[in-house]
């Protein structure tokens, strides 16, 4: 009995010793690996690491805790450390580029593919497939390219101009929904209205689907999108989100929202359209028809991948367009002289007409300038990232093989090196007579992975701006905050609260 007790005791002691040595070895391996990663990148300038193990994460977290957003910190670093700098988060080193030559090289060469480190996080949220490997997230160049080539024509101007009636109908619905607010003089969040009308726009123009989100703030699609966007944002900032017991009900809400968006909405829409085609019905030549065409041309695509594209195209354009318009209303609201010029231009070009044609929009030069300046200061999709497989020396900076490079549009577009008085909202920068440095303005990104929906967004946004300023004027709430909130995108923290008056 004593013999087996001794044996058990010896086993426990050896077991503990084994675990302690294993932890010790692991600790040494991690420490050695971190030291190696630091040495690999220490030839690049960058902020000092606040912690050996966490890298610059404590500085970024402390900044966020002060209700600041990380992009602002990256801008301070870019001003201080120049066109290319590095920062560390745990074992990962991010190389951040903002110089025009570096940005051009990295974004326009197809050998630099999208970084899976960033985009895989959108693949699944809280354990459920969200936009999977859709157009935005696919990092395999050849797989992505085949789909993009098929979908591209749906976004050409010559094709989109055929949808001006639908764009106008959506704009008119928005204007009518605001009329009650102008009569009541109550203050309201314009951001909320913009989120709903941009959803109606993509649904009606892109998918020939009547969402009628403008009619109800509790539209289930809006509620589901909000949950998923919060999920993305939390997942980006908290790698342990899937394991925290305190987040159990949040994770359930996100998963239910994804199920609703993919199955109840996306899949149902796909099946209905296929049925219509099968029955020989005439179907609209909209974005959905191009997504379906992808599957016909590329039979290897699964239905799950087709759903990835449906969700991507629905969501990528809605949030970005509503955010940029919200920022525009904020800036114009505090610059009465800009509001006046917008109204004058709209009145002059439209001459009281309600229907806005494609040609009318091309005449709205000042509207275009204000829209572009808003995108310069507040690019809603604030950056992109690429993977550098083989070592590259660009503009004198040696970037080691196997690196993840981050390009922040927010930073590049707000640098003193690129713009005079960059913190000033000044639409005159985009007047035709003004010269700008090349590759310092890219709110829709650059090169092959740039935004497929750029023309769609420009038509939609400018049409909504024109319709609004033709009819209304407004006053921002005196307590309105001008802070930026960084979630998956940049959006105004305070929601653009205003009171409305008919002109
Ligand atoms: C003002 C509005 C918009 C802005 C600022 C914007 C910005 C961007 C940016 C910066 C990217 C590159 C993202 C990255 O590299 O990670 C992108 C990609 C994309 N955008 Fe937009 N976007 C807008 C509106 C739209 C609209 C209206 C649609 C669709 C109807 C759309 C669909 C997409 C898609 C599918 C991609 C992925 C393209 C690819 O990689 O092939 N976007 N957008």
Q: Whose CA is nearest to atom 37 of ligand 1?
A: 136
Residue located nearest, by CA, to atom 27 of ligand 1: 317
Beta bridge partners of 468: none
Which atom of ligand 1 sits closest to the CA of residue 380? Answer: 5
- Taking only the tens place, the pLDDT of each residue in 239-261 is 788 899 999 999 999 999 999 99
User: For residue 129, what are its two tokens?
Assistant: 């497939």
Nearest CA to ligand 1 atom 26: 317
Distance 451 CA to ligand 1 centre (A): 4
Per-residue pLDDT tens listing for the chain (503 residues):
567 788 888 889 999 999 999 999 999 999 999 999 999 999 999 999 999 999 999 999 898 888 889 999 999 999 999 999 999 999 999 999 999 999 999 999 999 999 998 888 889 999 999 999 999 999 999 999 999 999 999 999 988 999 999 999 999 999 999 999 988 889 999 999 999 999 999 999 999 999 899 998 888 888 898 889 889 888 877 778 889 999 999 999 999 999 999 999 999 999 999 999 999 999 998 999 999 999 999 999 999 999 999 999 988 889 999 999 999 999 999 999 999 999 999 999 999 999 999 999 999 999 999 999 999 999 999 999 999 999 999 999 999 999 999 999 999 999 999 999 999 999 999 999 888 899 999 999 999 999 999 999 999 999 999 999 999 999 999 999 999 998 888 999 988 999 999 99
Counting from 1 in the atom list of ligand 1, the atom nearest the Cα of 144 is 41
Q: Are 204 and 170 in contact (CB under 8 A)?
A: yes
**Cβ-based burial of 450 (10 A; exposed 0-12, middle 13-18, buried ≥19):** middle
312 Cα: distance to centroid of ligand 1 (angstroms): 9
Largest CA distance in the chain: 103
Q: Is 189 helix (H, G, I), strand (E, B) or coil?
A: strand
Would you tell me the crossing angle of helices 220-237 and 248-259 to the nearest 10 degrees? 130
User: Residue 489 Cα, ligand 1 centroid: separation in angstroms?
Assistant: 11
Is there a contact between 276 and 284 (Cβ–Cβ < 8 Å)?
no
Mutate to test the pocket of ligand 1, among 112, 453, 463 (most ligand atoms within 8 A of CB): 453
| Ligand 1 center to 322 CA (angstroms) | 13
CA 454 to ligand 1 centroid distance, Å: 7
Report the residue among 381, 443, 488 best suited for mutation to probe ligand 1: largest number of ligand atoms under 8 A from its CB. 381
Q: Which protein residue has the closest C-alpha to ligand 1 atom 11?
A: 451
pTM (2 decimals)?
A: 0.95
Estimate the crossing angle of helix 336-350 against helix 454-471, to 10 degrees. 100
Query: If phi over 0 gives left and psi between -120 and 50 gives alpha, with beta otherwise, what is residue 496?
Result: left
Distance from the CA of 101 to the center of ligand 1, in angstroms?
A: 23
User: Given this model, what pLDDT does residue 241 score?
Assistant: 87
> How high is the pLDDT of residue 122?
86
User: If you take atom 20 of ligand 1, which residue's CA is the nearest one?
Assistant: 451
Q: Could you tell me the distance, in angstroms and rounded to a whole number, from the CA of residue 316 to the centre of ligand 1?
A: 6
Residue indicated by tokens 């929009």: 361
pLDDT at 39: 96
* Gap from CA of 114 to ligand 1 centroid (Å): 14
CA distances from 88 to 44, 287, 332, 386 (A): 12, 40, 38, 16
Residue 450 Cα to ligand 1 middle (Å): 7
Q: Regarding beta strands 128-129 and 484-486, do their DSSP bridges make them parallel or antiparallel, or are they unpaired? A: unpaired
Distance 449 CA to ligand 1 centre (A): 9
- Ligand 1 atom closest to Cα of 449? 40
Domains of the chain, first to last: 43-502 (1.10.630.10)
Q: How far apart are CA 329 and CA 333, in angstroms?
A: 6
Going from the Cα of 278 to the center of ligand 1, the distance in angstroms, rounded, reads: 32
Question: Which residues, judged by CB distance below 6 Å to any ligand atom, belong to the binding site of ligand 1?
Answer: 135-136, 148, 202, 206, 312-313, 316-317, 320-321, 324, 380-381, 384, 443-445, 449, 451-453, 456-457
Determine how β-strand 403-408 pairs with β-strand 92-97.
parallel
Residue to mutate, 133, 451, 457, 462, ligand 1, most ligand atoms under 8 Å from C-beta? 451
How far apart are alpha carbons 307 and 237 in whole angstroms?
26
β-pairing, 484-486 with 490-492?
antiparallel
């Amino acid at each position: 009995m004593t013999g087996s007790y001794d044996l058990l005791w010896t086993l426990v002691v050896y077991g503990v010793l084994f675990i302690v040595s294993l932890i010790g070895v692991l600790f040494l391996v991690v420490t050695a690996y971190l030291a190696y990663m630091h040495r690999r990148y220490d030839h690049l300038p960058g902020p000092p690491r606040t912690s050996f193990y966490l890298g610059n994460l404590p500085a970024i977290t402390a900044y966020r805790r002060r209700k600041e957003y990380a992009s602002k910190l990256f801008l301070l670093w870019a001003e201080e450390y120049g066109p290319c700098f590095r920062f560390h988060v745990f074992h990962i080193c991010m190389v951040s580029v903002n110089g025009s030559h570096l940005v051009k090289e990295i974004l326009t060469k197809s050998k630099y593919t999208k970084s899976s480190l960033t985009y895989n996080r959108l693949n699944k949220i809280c354990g459920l497939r969200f936009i999977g490997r859709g157009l935005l997230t696919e990092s395999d160049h050849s797989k992505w390219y085949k789909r993009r080539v098929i979908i591209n024509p749906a976004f050409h101007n010559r094709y989109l101009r055929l949808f001006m009636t639908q764009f106008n109908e959506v704009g008119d619905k928005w204007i009518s929904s605001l009329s009650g607010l102008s009569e009541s003089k109550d203050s309201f969040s314009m951001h909320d209205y913009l989120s709903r009308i941009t959803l109606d726009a993509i649904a009606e123009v892109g998918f020939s689907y009547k969402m009628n989100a403008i009619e109800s703030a509790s539209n289930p699609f809006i509620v589901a999108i909000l949950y998923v966007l919060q999920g993305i944002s939390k997942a980006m900032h908290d790698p342990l989100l899937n394991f925290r017991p305190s987040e159990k009900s949040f994770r359930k809400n996100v998963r239910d929202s994804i199920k609703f968006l993919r199955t109840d909405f996306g899949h149902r829409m796909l099946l209905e359209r296929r049925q219509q085609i099968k029955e020989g019905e005439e179907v609209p030549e909209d974005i959905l028809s191009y997504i379906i065409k992808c599957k016909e041309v590329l039979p290897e695509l699964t239905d799950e991948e087709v759903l990835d594209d449906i969700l991507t195209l629905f969501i990528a354009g809605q949030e970005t367009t509503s955010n940029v318009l919200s920022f525009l209303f904020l800036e114009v609201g505090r610059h009465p002289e800009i509001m006046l010029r917008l109204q004058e231009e709209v009145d002059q070009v439209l001459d009281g007409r309600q229907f806005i044609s494609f040609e009318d929009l091309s005449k709205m030069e000042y509207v275009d300038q204000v829209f572009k300046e808003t995108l310069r200061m507040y690019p809603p999709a604030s950056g992109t990232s690429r993977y550098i497989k083989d070592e590259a020396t660009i503009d004198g900076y040696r970037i080691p093989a196997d690196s993840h490079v981050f390009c922040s549009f927010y930073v590049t577009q707000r640098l003193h090196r690129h713009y005079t008085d960059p913190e000033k909202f000044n639409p005159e920068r985009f007047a035709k007579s003004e010269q700008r440095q090349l590759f310092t303005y890219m709110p829709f990104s650059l090169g092959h992975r740039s935004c497929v929906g750029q023309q769609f967004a420009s038509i939609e946004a400018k049409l909504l701006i024109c319709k609004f300023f033709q009819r209304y004027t407004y006053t921002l709430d005196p307590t309105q905050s001008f802070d930026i909130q960084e979630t998956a995108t940049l959006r105004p923290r305070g929601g653009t609260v205003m009171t409305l008056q008919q002109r």
